[in-house]
Amino acid sequence: MKDFFSYTSELFDPSRVKDKPEALKGIRVIDFTHVIFGPTASRVLGTYGAEVIKLELPFYGDLWRPATYWGRYWKHSNPIWHYVTQNKYFVSIDLKLPEAKDIVYRLAKDADIVLENFAPGTAEAWGVGYTSISKINPNIIYLSCSTYGQYGPMRYFPGWDLLAQAASGVLSLNGFPGTDRYFKLPDYLGDFFPGNLGSMALLMALYYRNKTGKGQYIDLSQTDSMMRALPHFTYQSITGEAMGRVGHTDPAMVAASIFKTRDARFVGLACATEKQFEGLCEAMDKKDLLQDKRFSDYLHALQEKNAEELRSIVTDWVKTMDCDDIIRLANEKGFAAAEVMDDKMVCEDPWRRERGSVILFNDDMYGELAMAGPSAMLSKTPARTKWIARPLGYHNRYVLMKFLGLSEEELDTLEAKKVVGTFDDKPGLKPPVYYDLEKDPLYNYGREVAK
């Protein structure tokens, strides 16, 4: 039998991903969502082969298109928008006009999934909510994403990731105890985590529909989603105490904290078992700690006072060591340790490049961009990036003519009435300056283009 790692490296070979089948091929998704929460739910489906038609307002587009980190654009696009909008079809129609609604209804007839994250009530009021779409397509799966949910007294409260972090308790948990500083989870995790839960709920609904033929409506609140990951409620009900903030430590694991090394780097370290703690003691050359009553068993060593004393012992040791040596010892002796990785380190990490969890994607329009790979590697139906973000309305002709069979004249009329449209001359919306859209066969679908 082949050695295990030769077997797996063939099984998961990143260079073969594009030739493998797609699990969600043929699933059509109508995507009204914007910014991060909803678009993440559809992004996951898109990477596994679903056909995601992203609808945006003409000349304006998704709110996140122009909103890049510290205002830094990349080829007139928002570099962090590409990941969440990969593999999507960009159609730009004005939902407030009756002709646009007609287009949506026609698309919905053959669609499998619709998702939206307007303020609760908006989709229903516009006649594109579940009650309207399910009349046209009774077996549709419809996901509404919101901060507090579609029913309950807070349903009309407006919200973002931040408000879900505030309302769920998540924000109150980050920071050093005893200080007046609190920190939100970075980079809109209050959108990304619920967004992934949303795609899981959608897949479950698809699975159910395959079994029973029935579609359904899903109401996903990002506050509910964040609370799913908080054992803090259980902690409070059992101990009668609040867990509070933990600074740079993990009070649930032995010796778990972020430490500063001799070479001024930061390393996260923890022991998951008593055996791993033995390994750490060996690495520190302090095997006497194993006889120490304070640390004699795992639960004991976690008690607040004991944990604090152990942490200060480890702090003193880490101070005398270089980061690389800690990692090497962790691997040798068997405890967990990982350096604090920042953007550039993650981007350039050879392990991630070899694994395919950071890929250098070569796009027809934008050229090369480093992107995150999927968060799970599937051996037979892996996720993949086929294209990245496109200018506003880029796929109008392709989708409306090819999927809906609209004629050139019908399209002209819609454009004249501003039912469909493309981009204004704004970064985030328009193509890169060097790119000649006139020669793009997809943008000009149905027309002759000069080669």
Partner 1 sequence: MSLFKKKSKEKIYTRYSGQANVHAWKGVVERLSNPEGTPDVLDDILVLDVSYGNFSGIIAASLFAEFGAEVIKIEPPEGDPCRKMTPYGRNVKGVGIPFIFEGRNKRYMTLDLQNNPDDRETFTKLAKKAAVVIEAFPAGDMDSWGIGYRQLSEENPGLVYIAVTPYGQYTTKAEEFRTFPDADITTQTGSGLSAQIGDLPSEPEPYNWPLKAGMWMGWYISGLSAALGGTVALMHRQLTGEGQMIDVAGMDAYSSMTGFPPSIGYTWENSRPRIGVLDFILYPYGHWKCKDGLVAIAAPRDHDFRALLKIIHRWDLEDDYRFTPDRIPDIIEQAMYLHREIEKETMKETADELTKRALTYSMKAARSKWRGGGVPIVMRVMTPEMARQQKQWEIRKSFLEVSDETLGKFTITTGFAKMTESPPKVKWISCDIGKDNAYVTEKYLS
Mask 377-406, x = binds partner 1 (CB under 8 A)?
Answer: xxxxx-x-----------------------
9 binds partner 1 (CB under 8 A): yes
**What is the pairing mode between strands 28-31 and 113-116?**
parallel
183 binds partner 1 (CB under 8 A): yes
Cβ at position 348, least distance to partner 1 in Å: 7
Contacting residue, 266, 426, 446, 449, with partner 1 by CB under 8 A: 266
Q: Which residue, 92 or 144, is less far from partner 1 as judged by CB? A: 144
Q: Which of residues 98-127 bind partner 1 (CB under 8 A)?
A: 118-122, 124-127
Contacting residue, 15, 19, 98, 153, with partner 1 by CB under 8 A: 153
Contacting residue, 172, 322, 386, 446, with partner 1 by CB under 8 A: 172
Q: How many CA atoms lie within 13 A of 32 on its CB side?
A: 30
152 binds partner 1 (CB under 8 A): yes
176 binds partner 1 (CB under 8 A): yes
Torsion over CA: 384, 390, 393, 398 (sign): negative
Contact 387/364 with Cβ under 8 angstroms? yes
Q: Which residue, 353 or 402, is less far from partner 1 as judged by CB? A: 353
The b/e string for 153-180 (b: 16+ C-beta within 10 A; e otherwise) is: eebeeebbbebbbbbbbbbebbbeeeee
Contact 305/323 with Cβ under 8 angstroms? no
The label of the residue with tokens 């981009």 reads 423
Cβ at position 261, least distance to partner 1 in Å: 12
Cβ at position 333, least distance to partner 1 in Å: 10
**What is the pairing mode between strands 51-56 and 141-146?**
unpaired
Q: Which of 402, 400, 403, 404 is nearest to 412 (CA)?
A: 400
Contact 292/300 with Cβ under 8 angstroms? no
* Residue 177: DSSP 8-state: T
Q: Which residue, 127 or 427, is less far from partner 1 as judged by CB? A: 127
Q: Which residue, 100 or 270, is less far from partner 1 as judged by CB? A: 270
Quote the tokens at residue 220: 């996903």
Distance (Å, whole) CA 48 – CA 141: 17
Report the run of H or E that residue 349 belongs to, with start and end: none
131 binds partner 1 (CB under 8 A): yes
Cβ at position 65, least distance to partner 1 in Å: 12
4 binds partner 1 (CB under 8 A): yes
231 binds partner 1 (CB under 8 A): yes
Quote the tokens at residue 20: 């493998």
Cβ at position 365, least distance to partner 1 in Å: 15
* Number of residues lying near partner 1 (CB under 8 A): 190
Cβ at position 41, least distance to partner 1 in Å: 11
Contact 346/352 with Cβ under 8 angstroms? yes
Q: Which of residues 235-264 bind partner 1 (CB under 8 A)?
A: 235-239, 242-253, 256-258, 260
Q: What is the residue type of 51?
A: E
Distance (Å, whole) CA 106 – CA 165: 38
Q: How many CB atoms lie within 10 A of CB 244?
A: 13
Q: Give the start-end residues of each E strand in 222-278.
A: 254-260, 266-271
Mask 407-446, x = binds partner 1 (CB under 8 A)?
Answer: ----------------------------------------
Q: Which of residues 284-303 bind partner 1 (CB under 8 A)?
A: 298-303
Residue 338's SS3 state is strand
Q: Which of residues 30-59 bind partner 1 (CB under 8 A)?
A: 44, 48
221 binds partner 1 (CB under 8 A): yes
Cβ at position 86, least distance to partner 1 in Å: 9
Mask 186-215, x = binds partner 1 (CB under 8 A)?
Answer: xxxx--xx--xxxxxx-xxxxxx-xxx-xx
Q: How far is CA 426 from CA 39, 70, 77, 397, in A?
A: 21, 17, 9, 21
Cβ at position 444, least distance to partner 1 in Å: 29
216 binds partner 1 (CB under 8 A): yes
Q: Which of residues 316-345 bind partner 1 (CB under 8 A)?
A: 330-331, 334-345
229 binds partner 1 (CB under 8 A): yes
89 binds partner 1 (CB under 8 A): no
Start-to-end CA distance of the chain, whole Å, equals 52
The label of the residue with tokens 């003409």 reads 58
72 binds partner 1 (CB under 8 A): yes
354 binds partner 1 (CB under 8 A): yes
Q: Is 217 exposed, middle or buried (0-12, 13-18, 19+ CB in 10 A)?
A: middle
159 binds partner 1 (CB under 8 A): yes
374 binds partner 1 (CB under 8 A): yes
